[in-house]
Structure 1
Amino acid sequence: MPASALVSVIVPGWNVAEYAAEALTSVRAQTLERWRAILIDDGSADGTSDVFADFARTDRRFTHVTHPAQRGLGAARNTGLELVDTPYVGFLDADDVMLPRALELLVGSLERTGSDVAVGQYTRLRPAGDGYASSPVQPWVVASTAPARAGVTLAEHPEVTGNIVAWSKVSRASLWRDLRFPQGLYEDQAVTQTLYTRARAIDTVAEPVVHWRVRADGTSITQHEADPLVLAACLDALRDGLAILRRDAPDVALRARIRQILEMDLPRLRALDLPPESRAAVEELAAELAERRLASN
């Protein structure tokens, strides 16, 4: 482990042997070399642990930890957080790809500005032929990051609240002192909004830092939102994030997030083939948000 490491990249994985080497190679290819990576195999039944062990054996910047049984993505990330000893922390899921300048851009921005969180863009890797191809940056991701900003607050840039994934950003490790991921699905929502509300200042990077893989095997959580249990977790997570903004953020940030959910999330969920109970749950959230939007105008 390099004593001079600036950032710890937490890389959890469960049954991702097919993709893990590409993910870890993308970390090793970073133009910023002062990193360490904490690899957590969450009780995989395939060769994920072997891939992690191989990288840790050949490059001491990688640390490999194994859960004896699967505990979930949030728990795996929390295991990594317990081992962080660097000024900054970031995340990468072990089936995604970190672009070469990601850490240079995100850590470099925080080093220059003194801000607490740096937020970058991301694209989706979608199945294409025998492999995967990157898609354009989605409009809401652009809105959260472009143009590049240095040292802004939530009041000055409320649209950043739409960038809720853990792995598109780097933050000061001090923000995580008493913050951990919840168990279950959609772990990122409440945690990310908490980071934003705790940050004294936020930087944005107006270019992609990660390719997010939408897996051809259909195992991505967002590919199963028609499942009543997955949908319920999604709706709960949206509410949890809003509750944090309502409690700790300026009203303009809450209004921005409500607008994002009404314009982005609800149309996607309404387009699913849902049973009546699930459709009613979506419309209940829509009614809640519409009422709050009217009350804040």
Structure 2
Amino acid sequence: MSRTTPPRVSVIIPAYNAMPEVTHCVRSAMEQTLDPDDVEIIAIDDGSTDGTGAELDRLARTCSRLRVVHQPNSKGAGGPRNTGLELAAGDYVFFLDSDDHLGPDALRRMVAMADANGTDVVLGKMVSVGGRAVPTAVFSHNQPRTDVFSSHAYRTLGCWKLFRRSLIERLGLRFPPYRNCEDKPFTAAAYLNADGISVVADYDCYYSRNRQNGNNLTLTAADLVHRMDGTRLCFETVARYLEPGPLRDRIMRRHVEWELCGPLRALLPRESEQQARERYYPQFRQWALDHATDGVFQLLAPQDRLIVHLLRADRFDDLMAVARHARRDAARGHVVDKGRVYWAHPFFRDPAKAVPDACFDATDRIAVHHELTEAAWTAEGEVLRLSGHARIDGLGPLQPGSRLTLRPSGFRHPDVHVPVTLDAAPPRPGTDTREQDRTDGAGSGTNRYTVDVDLRTAASGAPLGAGTWDLRLDLRAQGVSRTVRVRQPKADADDPAPTPPVREPATGSRPEPATARLRSTPDGHLALEIRRTGTAAEPACRVTGIAWDASAPGTLVVRGHLTGEAAHHPVALRAQEDSGRVREAPLSYGPDGRGFTARLPLARLRPGRWALTLRPNAGGTPIPVPHTDRLGGTRWFRASRLGRPSYAKPLPRPPEGVLTLRVAPIRLTTALRRRLARSGDRHRDRL
């Protein structure tokens, strides 16, 4: 029976001499928990000679959803992937390499994540099989909706992801005919044009491994001759889709590090002197001149800055010397001078080389090690005591002046600084001093620190205000200052993580009762959360009405009146996204000076979840806009997105009762599918 509705996902599998792994690969796609009718599998035999084509045909006889295409060898994975794209009919496309396989629930989870958040690209957690390197930073926690500037997504440019097919077709994306780096420009273009990126990190979605026969393209086509075209296209893709400036610099940094400096160090010395000088060096130098801007240069590690400087200065012989000895020189120590830390490379302050100190400055990259070992309430719950161990690599004992910084998250307030008490760290239980020196680094100067945060006086003698405060350690040694966020320790059965209970409401020490607790952020850092409780202080205002503006589609109108002191009058309606992005709309007051109205155009908000509060003046505590069941959804057209319709609707159970809106584009295929389903239901009801 022919299909009447398109599948949700088209799984595209390029295969060349992929026995025996291809069997497990295809079966993992066939056995997904997603409804079988929602998955089509397109396997392309790219001229295999080891029986891969026959095995794919055998599997196809057992599964009507598997389509096999046989074609002459194209000498790369891009050709067969392009063949699959021409045949794909799914709402989404997933590229699965023939030596890898999927977790059983992978596609269902990724499709659900894309549907729920309206995102165009979904990354599923990758797992290493047999030691093959996989990205890890981006998979530290689930991310329903993010982008390449707010996450580590751009660190992984392999195409093993779920892509919305309409994005691919709108951009006309296809894979170039290269043996290596062919997927990086494809994924980069999708990232930079995506209407949101999602990350599924709580399930092992994609298992990546090297083949038994060792003929992975990443291994057999690793030389410079196979990399140069793909690298050039990476740089051109970023330059095409991003305007010059800080955002482009942040993305371009990845390619300067991984596609320029890394291969130059590792591969250029393998080439003959003539090939290196005449064929590859001119191209590397041109990339450095065109794309390694001063903004990119500042973001690089010293090893990469030195390479970029020598390329810019056209110093081929010095560059080759640096590349040949890169591994040895990377292990050299550091020099501390006037509060800065420099890489002790042989070129550092060598008059004959005349390389600027900025090329060796490693101050912001010196590793900071810290471990929280105790967190408890003291002084009847008014003082939070944090204790642990900390050190800065290679700089000896910490110095007085080290402190804990409390930084406000999502509201305006100056940073709050609390001094820490330092002691030399005692030997760990069961470990003698020599062993601790060996593991911490000889002369590392590991200190035990203790800091007491008095909630009654921490803010320059005043109580610490309500809100969420991020915790940062500002550590100092040899005049060098390094700041690091305090992390939640990993718990285990023998040593549970030290998280104290919620502090009970204060009695008499604050203008109103409040609770305080330490909580862990999604990325594992600690924050101090203070909430007002009870009715000791009347809010500065009350919201009296929330509605959509009938004359201006996509505009929310919030009305209210003042009840408190003038010093805390709200001045703006604030919308804050999960990632921290903020938009504000000013309040206008009526003739009596107490009634106010705010109008928030949602077309200015990017897709995501936005919590609404009223921001007082004088840096007061934000006032939540209460959730209401009377507010339905609304729709409007976004002129900036080619007239695509968007919608907003309140979350049914928002966090802490704060009105939270989900803003997202309306997917035309999803809307049509729902309309057809409703039409079918009505037809059945009439029958």
Query: What range describes the TM-score normalised by the shorter chain of this pair?
Result: 0.7 to 0.9
* TM-superposed deviation, 1:76: 0.9
Partner of 1:220: 216
Classify 1:268/1:65 alpha carbon distance in 2 versus 1 (closer, same or farther; 3 Å).
same
Partner of 2:238: 245
Q: Is contact 2:234-2:255 (8 Å) kept? A: no
The code of the aligned residue for 1:113 comes to: N
Q: Deviations 1:232-270 (Å, cap 9, x if unpaired)?
A: 332331231222112213655543344334555544662
What is the root-mean-square deviation of aligned Cα atoms in Å?
2.8
Q: 1:40 aligns with which of 25, 41, 44?
A: 44
Q: Deviations 1:160-183 (Å, cap 9, x if unpaired)?
A: 22211111x101111122221111
Distance 1:174 1:93 in 2: 22
Distance 2:248 2:228 in 1: 16
Classify 1:256/1:109 alpha carbon distance in 2 versus 1 (closer, same or farther; 3 Å).
same
Distance 1:165 1:198 in 2: 16
Distance 1:61 1:81 in 2: 16
Q: Deviations 1:73-115 (Å, cap 9, x if unpaired)?
A: 2121111111111111111111211122221221111011111
Q: Is contact 1:123-1:134 (8 Å) kept? A: no
Classify 1:54/1:240 alpha carbon distance in 2 versus 1 (closer, same or farther; 3 Å).
same
Partner of 1:260: 254
Give 3-state SS (helix, strand or coil) of 2:292's partner. Answer: helix
Distance 1:269 1:102 in 2: 37
* TM-superposed deviation, 1:59: 1.1
* TM-superposed deviation, 1:188: 0.2
The code of the aligned residue for 1:25 comes to: R
Distance 1:286 1:258 in 2: 15
The code of the aligned residue for 1:6 comes to: R
Task: State how many pairs are aligned.
Answer: 281
* TM-superposed deviation, 1:24: 0.8
Distance 1:113 1:192 in 2: 20
Give 3-state SS (helix, strand or coil) of 1:80's partner. Answer: helix
Classify 1:191/1:253 alpha carbon distance in 2 versus 1 (closer, same or farther; 3 Å).
farther
Partner of 1:285: 284
Classify 1:268/1:146 alpha carbon distance in 2 versus 1 (closer, same or farther; 3 Å).
farther
* TM-superposed deviation, 1:225: 5.1
Q: 1:191 aligns with which of 186, 192, 203?
A: 186
Distance 2:247 2:158 in 1: 17
Classify 1:101/1:112 alpha carbon distance in 2 versus 1 (closer, same or farther; 3 Å).
same
Partner of 2:164: 172
Distance 1:277 1:88 in 2: 47
Partner of 1:204: 199
Distance 1:134 1:115 in 2: 31
Q: Is contact 1:258-1:289 (8 Å) kept? A: no
Which portions of structure 1, spanning 4 or more consecutive aligned residues, are displaced by more than 6 angstroms?
none
Q: Is contact 2:6-2:91 (8 Å) kept? A: no
Q: 1:21 aligns with which of 20, 23, 32?
A: 23
**Quick check: 188-197 or 242-251, which moved more?**
242-251
**Quick check: 169-178 or 201-210, which moved more?**
201-210
**Equivalent residues in 2 for 1:1-297, closer than 5 Å:** 3=5, 5-33=7-35, 34-67=38-71, 69-71=72-74, 72-125=76-129, 133=130, 138=134, 141-157=135-151, 159-167=152-160, 169-177=161-169, 178-185=172-179, 186-206=181-201, 207-224=203-220, 227=223, 231-249=224-242, 251-252=245-246, 254-264=248-258, 266-267=261-262, 270-272=265-267, 274-275=270-271, 276=273, 281=280, 285=284, 288-289=287-288, 292-296=292-296
Distance 1:286 1:222 in 2: 25
**Identical aligned residues as a percent:** 29
Q: Deviations 1:29-84 (Å, cap 9, x if unpaired)?
A: 222233110111112122111111112111111111111x2124212111111111
Q: Is contact 1:87-1:172 (8 Å) kept? A: yes
Q: Is contact 1:235-1:282 (8 Å) kept? A: no
The code of the aligned residue for 1:274 comes to: R
Give 3-state SS (helix, strand or coil) of 2:213's partner. Answer: coil
Partner of 1:128: none
Classify 1:144/1:241 alpha carbon distance in 2 versus 1 (closer, same or farther; 3 Å).
farther
Distance 1:28 1:210 in 2: 14
Partner of 2:677: none
* TM-superposed deviation, 1:134: 5.2
Q: Is contact 2:99-2:210 (8 Å) kept? A: no
Q: Is contact 2:114-2:121 (8 Å) kept? A: yes
**Quick check: 116-125 or 76-85, which moved more?**
116-125
Distance 2:107 2:115 in 1: 11
Q: Is contact 1:134-1:211 (8 Å) kept? A: no
**Quick check: 193-202 or 234-243, which moved more?**
234-243
TM-score after normalising by structure 1: 0.82
Classify 1:17/1:225 alpha carbon distance in 2 versus 1 (closer, same or farther; 3 Å).
closer
Distance 1:214 1:282 in 2: 31
Classify 1:86/1:42 alpha carbon distance in 2 versus 1 (closer, same or farther; 3 Å).
same
Distance 2:42 2:34 in 1: 16
Q: Is contact 1:41-1:65 (8 Å) kept? A: yes
Give 3-state SS (helix, strand or coil) of 1:200's partner. Answer: coil
Classify 1:14/1:268 alpha carbon distance in 2 versus 1 (closer, same or farther; 3 Å).
same
Give 3-state SS (helix, strand or coil) of 1:95's partner. Answer: coil
Flag the structure with more relative contact order, 1 or 2, with Cα contacts below 8 A and sequence separation at least 6.
1
Partner of 2:303: none
Distance 2:110 2:284 in 1: 34
**Quick check: 271-280 or 115-124, which moved more?**
271-280
Distance 2:100 2:190 in 1: 22
* Structure with larger Rg: 2
Q: Structure 1 stretches of 5 or more lacking a match? A: 126-132
Classify 1:40/1:226 alpha carbon distance in 2 versus 1 (closer, same or farther; 3 Å).
closer
Q: Is contact 1:270-1:279 (8 Å) kept? A: no
